[in-house]
Structure 1
Amino acid sequence: MPFEVPAGLSVRLSQVAGASRATVFMVLQASLATLLTRLGAGTDIPIGTPIAGRTDDALD
């Protein structure tokens, strides 16, 4: 399901990522893990994302 990130939030995410020497993707993934933890999912939360171009069978 597509969604749009408001311009102000996008700027703030970029600032947080830059200050943390991380990517916006990493900030969003950490935010999701934090939300799930606070909702009671525990602290060991595997979040998978598909990555194109990885040819190692172990990554499947």
Structure 2
Amino acid sequence: MKKRRNMNKMEEPARQNPVAKYAHLFVKAHVFADKSKYSRKGRQGKQEDFPVVLA
């Protein structure tokens, strides 16, 4: 059996940092909409924005 260097001190396993462990899952680039452009959404999903009425 191999002798330890310091018999009084127990070796502790390395502590894991959970922030660094999972950082690659959450730190991602985001794409934001261009707020300088005018855009209008319809009030209802299937309804057209500007309905054309035939006379």
TM-score category of the 2 structures, normalised to the smaller one: under 0.3
TM-score, length of structure 2 as denominator length: 0.21
Which protein has greater RCO, CA pairs closer than 8 Å, 6+ apart?
1
Q: As a proportion of its length, which structure holds more helix?
A: 1
